[in-house]
Structure 1
Amino acid sequence: MAPDPKMLKIQLGIELRRLREEAECTAAAAAAVVGGTAPKISKIESGKQGITTAEVEKLSALYDAPAKRRKYLIGLASQLPRRSPRRTTYRDAVPDWFQRFHALEYAATDMRIYEVESVTGLLQTHDYARSMIHAWEPAADPRMIERQVQTRLDRQSVLTRRHKPLNLQVVLSETALRRVQGSGTIMRAQLEHLVETASKPNVDVRVLPFSVPNRISVASSATLLHLAEQQLSAVYLEDVLGATYLHEPTEFTRYSIVFERLRAAALPEQESQDFIAKVAATHD
């Protein structure tokens, strides 16, 4: 199934802006290369305007992007339809789903996450992340696993960056705290890290315990993203075959209502931290 054209444009814009800023290049200089104006670059970078493969190639050269990155971005641009597509359902196949999500996460101003089985990636420790990745790919080269772990940890910089750190709200099912990943030692360190990170002013972690009566049952995890500059609100749903983005207003609103109901049923912030600390103490 083809990727979502809207998400493609937004991802391309985020990636190109990041390259331009890293190259310390002005929007005016970028515009001159593609024969346009600074407002055109602004529209491209905010995902409001498409871009051709030739333009991506010229900008990538200007920004001195690595050859592998340049090839990847040109490939994305080649998937953009020339005409406005009809509304349909799109899915991102593995491995493209991760690179697209990584770009959106980097540009997001607010994220709300409901997790059922595990601690969300933005709050994971090195050992917990390594154990999860190894469980999925037990035969993988250790060097590849370590690169994936480092990528996951690098993503966490969105929580501590100086310019507009990500506002993160997380609702964790008690299952995520009780299910042992790796070992008791790894779990204890992970849960202690979770309590520490939850104390940050831009991070709100709440636990939905088994004991809450008559709450709604939501069997799968979901991530709600808001990107202010791109004027995008979307729901990210992941499974073993890839990922789906829902960005129609009615779709996002429905998930937003469900998330708020789950959050309302969860323990308050301080009680959640106390609960996590108590579970951590049960692990050796």
Structure 2
Amino acid sequence: MTNDDEPSTLARRQLGRFLRDSREISGMSMDRAAKLAELSKTALQRIETGGVKKLRLRDIQALCEIYQVDAADGVRAVELAKQAQVNSWYTAFGGLYSDTTFNMYVGLSASARHLTAYHEIVLGLVQTADYARALISAFYRDDSPADIERRVELRLKRQTIVTRKTDPVRLDLVLHESALHRVIGGPKVMAAQLRQLAEISKLPNISLRIQPFAAGCARGIPHGPFVILDFGTDARGNPVEPPLVYFEGNGKADLYLEKDEDVRRYDEIASAIRGSSLDESRTRDLIRRVARSYEP
């Protein structure tokens, strides 16, 4: 941590989304909610947009009570408010924030306008049900079959942000060639997954490229999986929200980089990876060729 570190805006933004959604679900107007919480309408607006740097825990508790949120979610909201005060060069979320209500990445990706991703297995947003089921079952070994299916269903529902016909999120995805050869769920599952990849890559909002083994390391460094989230601009051309870099925790806390220089560095790494990758046409040809190799 350096002296110029400031409290994360990410926790404030996530908390604001939760409180706004909770208010709307309760059917309460902003004027009414602000009055009951003894806040000005402007103050409540700023809380909902993540614009309040010093959140008062009693305000968060009062709003949760007014909206009659679940007790466990109320506790998480207060913890999120505490997290918003922490100074750090990165933001880590796990445990409390890994459930469906407070899953940080799910909420952020749904709000994003453009996702730039590099992965070494097939990204969740373009997985088939069987591929997702094989991964989820291997990770959540103690879950019941019903819980596994619920997780698979939630993952597939998330894919609508890139597959919907109206205003889909733009996805620039680079997969390392190893993703095509790392067998998940068996040859039949892999064949179906790769065929779907080839088809979904034809969507106008999706760009898919393969970085071949022969490309080595872009920028001369081993680069693990990451996602850059861009939230677009408003009518004046200003960013709706600052962009972020996301790293999946794989059982530990997920990590987010918010500083401009960090996001810029990963933009440059993503550009270098794309530059060392096959073009979209050759990518589809390779994917289809590997898919055939899995078929009997």
Distance of 1:75 and 1:39 partners within structure 2: 23
What is the TM-score with the length of structure 1 in the denominator? 0.85
Which of 164, 172, 180 aligns to 1:169? It is 172
Say whether the 8 Å CA contact 1:46–1:230 is kept in structure 2.
no
Report the equivalent of 2:249.
Answer: 239
Deviation (angstroms), 1:215: 4.8
| 1:194-205 equivalence runs, <5 A | 194-205=197-208
* Worse overlay, 47-56 or 187-196: 47-56
Q: 1:61 to 1:198 in 2, by over 3 A?
A: farther
Deviation (angstroms), 1:232: 1.5
| 1:116-265 equivalence runs, <5 A | 116=120, 118-161=121-164, 164-212=167-215, 215-216=218-219, 217-228=221-232, 230-240=240-250, 241-265=252-276
Q: Which runs of 5+ in 2 are unaligned?
A: 1-6, 233-238
2:117 matches 1:110 = no
Deviation (angstroms), 1:74: 3.2
Distance of 1:131 and 1:155 partners within structure 2: 18
Distance of 1:154 and 1:49 partners within structure 2: 32
Deviation (angstroms), 1:211: 3.5
* Worse overlay, 51-60 or 231-240: 51-60
Report the equivalent of 2:60.
Answer: 56
Distance of 2:249 and 2:66 partners within structure 1: 37
Aligned to 1:10, what secondary structure does the other structure show?
helix
Deviation (angstroms), 1:169: 0.9
2:289 matches 1:274 = no
Q: 1:213 to 1:162 in 2, by over 3 A?
A: closer
Report the equivalent of 1:14.
Answer: 17
Q: Which runs of 5+ in 1 are unaligned?
A: none
How many residues of Structure 1 are paired with residues of Structure 2 in the alignment?
277
Distance of 2:92 and 2:98 partners within structure 1: 8
| 1:17-28 equivalence runs, <5 A | 17-23=20-26, 25-28=28-31
Deviation (angstroms), 1:64: 4.8
Report the equivalent of 1:47.
Answer: 50
What is the TM-score with the length of structure 2 in the denominator? 0.81
- State the Cα RMSD in Å: 2.7
Deviation (angstroms), 1:173: 0.3
Say whether the 8 Å CA contact 1:225–1:234 is kept in structure 2.
yes
Say whether the 8 Å CA contact 1:10–1:230 is kept in structure 2.
no
The percentage of aligned residue pairs carrying the same residue is 29
Aligned to 2:168, what secondary structure does the other structure show?
coil
Kindly provide the CA deviation profile for residues 43-74 of structure 1, in whole angstroms up to 9, marking residues without a partner as x. 22322225434333443455454444334323
